[in-house]
Amino acid sequence: MKILIITVLAGFLSLFGGDLHLFSVSNTEGKLNAGVVEKALEANGFVISANTEMNEPFKKQFGQSDFAQFNLLTAYHKIHSEALVTSNPDGGIFVPMGFGVYQRNGEKELHVSILSAEAMAKIAGFKAAEFALIEKEAIASIKKALPNVKVSMSETSLPSEGALLSRYVKESSKESWSSDKEETEMMIEDGLKPAGFVMSNFTDYNFSLGEKSPFDFYDTYSICKLKVIYTVAKTRPEAAAFAPCTLMVYKKKDANEIVMGFPGVYNWMSSARVSDPEGKAVLMQAQKDFEAVLQSTIE
């Protein structure tokens, strides 16, 4: 009886869906790819940060790939992201946001995964109308790029095993912020490579905000670890929506602190339901390494 109750409850909960929008479309001829999605996003108000093909790196480092195509596409909406970040600075962890685009070897369907508005709010720690607006435009873009695409939600997320947003604060001032910025970002960049991280993109978001910006500076780094993506993709390729990870580094003009933050790997384990020992091990090592890099900047 207990087993029956648990099974029924699990099925009932799955009806509510999880944190990821999942898109699937027939692609037997292989004509659909991340480039098609990229063009549709650009036409719908998104700025493309990077469209990184992962198969070649997989094959070069690990000798094989399980996928016919696997791309990490990152982008942000020009209008809605500006409104989000100026009113809620920590929203920069989604500038850019991820679009996982993948198709396994021998599979007939192409897939895309993105975070839901509810998931973005949960990770950032606040609610904002812009999350729903960005979600709406992202979904519309994917549907336009992939006619007849099937849309579903991921399974209900697992309980989080740690903080969804890893956030660090470093003291600064109106007089020293420029040198503090230079020192902080130099330490971040110097610490990433020895820990095995790769920076796929850098965005000077303050430049996009222009003179009306409330920040002295606002930078975001798109950072990934190849071993993490390769390992997790074997069981949960939809987790590509979290990769590369966006690290925000900013200082508001009226504040005496530099803020750094990124979505923790606990999101992968919760939202994408990464539960296999190997996948969790590489994720936790990445979290530990990333935290060490940021911790070094405030000591």
**Could you give the domains of the chain?**
17-298 (3.30.310.70)
Mean pLDDT of 11-16: 42
Q: Is the pLDDT assigned to residue 3 strictly greater than 80?
A: no
Mean residue pLDDT across the chain: 93
Residue 53 CA from chain centroid, whole number: 16
pLDDT digits (tens, 9 = 90+) for 228-287: 999 999 999 999 999 999 999 999 999 999 999 999 999 999 999 999 999 999 999 999
Q: How many residues does the structure list for the chain?
A: 299
The label of the residue with tokens 């610490």 reads 191
> Can you give the pTM of this predicted structure?
0.92
pLDDT at 146: 97
pLDDT at 16: 55
The label of the residue with tokens 């006619």 reads 147
Q: Is the pLDDT assigned to residue 47 strictly greater than 70?
A: yes
The label of the residue with tokens 């490579």 reads 193
- Structure tokens, 250: 């900013």
Q: Is the pLDDT assigned to residue 25 strictly greater than 70?
A: yes
Q: Residue 249 in contact with residue 262, Cβ under 8 Å?
A: no
Query: Strand pairing partners for 203?
Result: 220
**Confidence tier at 297 by pLDDT (50, 70, 90):** very high
Rounded CA gap, 282 and 149, in Å?
Answer: 32
pLDDT at 299: 83
pLDDT digits (tens, 9 = 90+) for 172-226: 988 899 999 999 999 999 999 898 899 989 999 999 999 999 999 999 999 999 9
- Structure tokens, 92: 């920069």
pLDDT at 12: 39
Burial 87-118 (b: 16+ CB within 10 A, else e): ebbbbbbbbbbbbbbbbbeeeeebbbbbbbbe
Q: Is the pLDDT assigned to residue 75 strictly greater than 50?
A: yes
